Amino acid sequence: MKCTKEIAGFNELDEAVKRLDFRSAVRDVRRFNYICALLELLIGQQMTALSGCAQKVLLAMLEEVARYATTSHHNPRGFHQLLNNLKALRAAERSAYWGGPLGSQLLWHQNTSKIEKILNMAAQMQIREPNPDSYPKLLQLPEECIREIILRLSDHRDLTASAETCEQMASIVGEQRVWRELTKFHFTPQQIDIAMPKSNDETDWKTVYHTLKKTYGLNEDRQYAEMLSLCRYCRCLFWRSLGHPCIADQCPEFRARLQEAGGITAPSPVPPSAFLKFFSL
């Protein structure tokens, strides 16, 4: 591609973040985990190498995450993981090279002020218990309802935490069905067949799950309610729930040629790690 000013302007990380409206996406429960995963990849030593504009945009996103997490109490574990990385970033900013941090002193002063503000917001975060007068409580629900709630958890850490709350939850989480459904959610039948024990003993699905997780890792496509998508025709990044004006929809002739070639291909999902590969970081 020609290195023109127009093309370069659309390839900057901060420009992409603004055009995809990541700050508003933070307040969407479907996209919150995606944004947190992206920030987790960027915060740290890699963020100190970003341009000043990108640093400002990403810290603004992080502040929005902090504001949303402290008010809604949504996904506190993911938020605390970001805070741990943020504290490491603050320590990196204080590292000295020839008497001071790399980059503009004004920029680092602004970044430090923003980081302190976010950490202060996190320090005031308190998870309040439900109103004691509100009914029914979780454990007052029929066991079948509690089991259906547990079966919808997609993270084994949530299952472990649930089991530590009381004996009833531990009993439900310990059921083979719970770990079997979690295993089938994250792994393909071919992968499961490889990890299945060869003996005729009863299958321990919790062991099978952790064996597969250690061998293959978790599928990124299954960890987020919504991800960015890449159109195969107009090369446009977009949130799938919002869609985009694709050339395949706007041009009847182009759509007809696609149908003759075998049909329209679905957009490709773009995990956070793949999104960052679009930029020279």
End-to-end CA distance of the chain: 19
Residues of the chain with pLDDT under 50: 1-9, 96-100
Q: What SS3 state is found at 23? A: helix
249 burial level (CB within 10 Å; 0-12, 13-18, 19+): middle
Among candidate residues 189, 58, 64, 39, the one with its CA nearest the CA of residue 118: 64
How is residue 87 written in tokens? 């504290």
CA distance 249 to 251: 6
Q: For residue 164, what are the CA distances in angstroms to 74, 171, 194?
A: 20, 10, 31
CA distance 243 to 71: 29
Q: Quick one: pLDDT at residue 91? A: 65
Q: Quick one: pLDDT at residue 277? A: 86
- In the chain, where the domains are located: 5-123, 141-222, 228-276
How is residue 16 written in tokens? 């992409």
Helices (H), 124-230: 143-150, 156-163, 167-173, 176-186, 189-195, 205-216
How is residue 146 written in tokens? 């509690």
Q: Quick one: pLDDT at residue 98? A: 46
Q: Quick one: pLDDT at residue 89? A: 67
Helix/strand/coil (H, E, C) string of 216-270?
Answer: HCCCHHHCCCCCEEECCCCCCEEECCCCCCCHHHHCHHHHHHHHHCCCCCCCEEE
Task: Let me know the angle formed at the C-alpha of 65 by 61 and 67, rounded to the nearest 5 degrees.
Answer: 115
